[in-house]
């Protein structure tokens, strides 16, 4: 019997006849190599537990390159593609531990009978999404500020983040120092971390008013809106420059009839029913709203923050439209592949992703040209797939608005606690200095 070691061989029968001292000398290299191999295998299995969970493909690459000279870069996991799996302890807070939950989303307070919707967590394909770590998040944002800009679903995500953090640092409501509208605009201050959390209500992102603009009245579910597609809504644009992280989003409001302006001139409308006004796709208005938003942020000389685009969140009305008996009474998530985006929802999603790509290219071009936006970063929070699979996560008939009579079921906003907390797991994963989640365009139409 022979053992081959690095091209040499040792005859074991001859070795058996040698003195103990000589056998030790001959076998020492063999034992040393066996110890080295065992140590390598131990380190490989141990260190794999310490690596970031998103770098799961090719995760041995860095170790092999160190020992054998092979270069194999770890690949990013797309945390936005996956499925919901049972998880008995998915909730981070309750309506009792977080008294700041709005009645509009406080499903437990108003007696939702089932609780199974609280026992699921998102599992990406091929890796794990870490649980939300409030202390890690607070360390990242220490001395900084986070703003959510968009409609009430964006504010819904801000309130989720508020509850996720409130159990570890007590927030102070400082809204009235900045505005008298304490419903649509919110600011919270975490003094332990010198951290500010804010929400700016701008459902169209751009300047919007009732049409005709001298007609008065507030926004309603069916009012005809005039949108100035090349002008940002000043409620956020005048305040955002000093923020370090900005999460922008918009969606359901673009289903209503709209009149579009550019350069102060009427250019057309979407489903407005006004004579002699050219019909223009609502997706054009949606595209230009995001383009104006990105351009505004890039043009702010003092803004050096990270901009996140949170993608479209579809509604889950069944058994009728939102204003004619539609409801959402399911109690379990959809399984992977069981549901697809509706055509219009897909177009909203596709438009967002395309504009995000435009913003990335424009940011790179501006940086190389005059470097005025040096330091800005763009990230995508693609919550669309995970949200679409959760028809069970809405208040339905349990939403109680503080300033309006609730006459319709709510299948747009999200119960708290609930699936929307996962959006902030995505957010934290994207804010980690060493992580930038992979992304693959989701073709669901």
Q: Which helix (H) or strand (E) holds 425?
A: helix 420-431
d(CA 81, CA 123): 8
Query: Between β-strands 145-150 and 245-248, what pairing exists: parallel, antiparallel or unpaired?
Result: parallel
Q: Work out the burial of residue 50: count CB atoms within 10 Å of its CB; fewer than 13 is exposed, 13-18 middle, 19 or more buried.
A: exposed
CA distances 172 to 153, 183, 191, 289, Å, are 22, 16, 8, 32
Reply yes or no on whether 228 is catalytic.
Answer: no
CA distance 254 to 250: 8
**Phi–psi pair at 157, nearest 5 degrees:** -65, -40
Query: Are 409 and 328 within 8 A, CB to CB?
Result: yes
Asked if the bond preceding 378 is cis, omega within 30° of 0, the reply is no
Catalytic residue among 152, 270, 387, 430: 152
Looking at 59, 228, 316, 413, which residue is catalytic?
Answer: 413
Q: Which of 78, 151, 315, 410 is catalytic?
A: 410
C-alpha span between 383 and 311 (Å, rounded): 6
Query: H or E stretch including 5?
Result: strand 2-5
Tokens at 228, concatenated:
């100035």
For residue 239, give both structure tokens: 């305040």
Q: Are 289 and 229 in contact, with CB atoms under 8 Å apart?
A: yes
Instruction: Report how far apart, in Å, the C-alpha atoms of 27 and of each of 35, 216, 280 are.
Output: 12, 94, 83
Task: Give the Å distances, CA to CA, from 293 to 230, 247, 374.
Answer: 9, 11, 18
- The SS3 of residue 330 is coil
Is 410 designated active site?
yes
Per the document, the length of the chain is: 445
Catalytic residue at 400? no
- Residues serving a catalytic function are 152, 410, 413
């Amino acid at each position: 019997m022979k053992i081959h070691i690095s091209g040499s061989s040792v005859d074991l029968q001859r070795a058996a006849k040698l003195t103990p001292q000589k056998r030790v000398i001959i076998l020492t290299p063999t034992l040393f190599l066996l110890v080295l191999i065992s140590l390598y295998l131990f380190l490989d299995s141990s260190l794999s537990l310490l690596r970031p969970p998103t770098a799961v493909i090719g995760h041995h690459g860095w170790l092999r390159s160190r020992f054998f000279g092979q270069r194999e870069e770890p690949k990013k996991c797309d945390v936005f593609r996956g499925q919901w799996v049972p998880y008995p302890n998915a909730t981070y807070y309750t309506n009792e531990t977080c008294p700041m939950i709005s009645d509009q989303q406080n499903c437990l307070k108003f007696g939702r009978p089932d609780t199974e919707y609280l026992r699921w967590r998102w599992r990406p394909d091929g890796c794990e999404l870490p649980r939300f770590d409030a202390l890690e998040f607070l360390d990242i944002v220490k001395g900084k500020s986070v703003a959510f800009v968009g409609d009430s679903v964006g504010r819904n995500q801000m309130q989720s983040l508020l509850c996720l953090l409130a159990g570890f640092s007590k927030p102070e409501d400082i809204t009235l120092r900045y505005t008298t509208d304490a419903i649509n605009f919110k600011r919270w201050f975490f003094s332990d971390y010198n951290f500010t959390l804010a929400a700016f209500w701008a459902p169209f992102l751009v300047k919007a008013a009732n049409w005709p603009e001298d007609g008065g009245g507030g926004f309603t579910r069916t009012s005809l809106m005039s949108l100035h597609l090349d002008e940002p809504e000043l409620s956020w644009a005048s305040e955002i420059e000093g923020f370090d992280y900005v999460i922008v989003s918009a969606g359901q409001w673009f289903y209503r009839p709209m009149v579009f302006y550019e350069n102060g001139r009427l250019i057309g409308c979407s489903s407005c029913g006004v004579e002699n006004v050219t019909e223009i796709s609502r997706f054009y208005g949606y595209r230009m709203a995001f383009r104006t938003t990105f351009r505004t942020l890039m043009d702010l000389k003092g803004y050096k923050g990270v901009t996140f685009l949170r993608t479209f969140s579809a509604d889950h009305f069944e058994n009728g439209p939102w204003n004619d008996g539609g409801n959402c009474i399911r109690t379990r998530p959809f399984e992977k592949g069981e549901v697809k985006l509706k055509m219009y929802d897909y177009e909203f999603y596709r438009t967002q992703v395309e504009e995000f790509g435009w913003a990335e290219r424009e940011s790179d071009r501006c940086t190389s040209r005059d470097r005025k936006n040096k330091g800005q970063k763009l990230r995508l929070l693609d919550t669309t797939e995970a949200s679409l699979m959760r028809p069970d996560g809405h208040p339905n008939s349990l939403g109680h608005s503080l300033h309006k009579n609730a006459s319709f079921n709510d299948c747009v906003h999200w119960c708290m606690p609930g699936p929307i907390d996962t959006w902030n797991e995505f957010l934290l994963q994207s804010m980690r200095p060493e992580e930038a989640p992979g992304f693959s365009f989701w073709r669901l139409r």
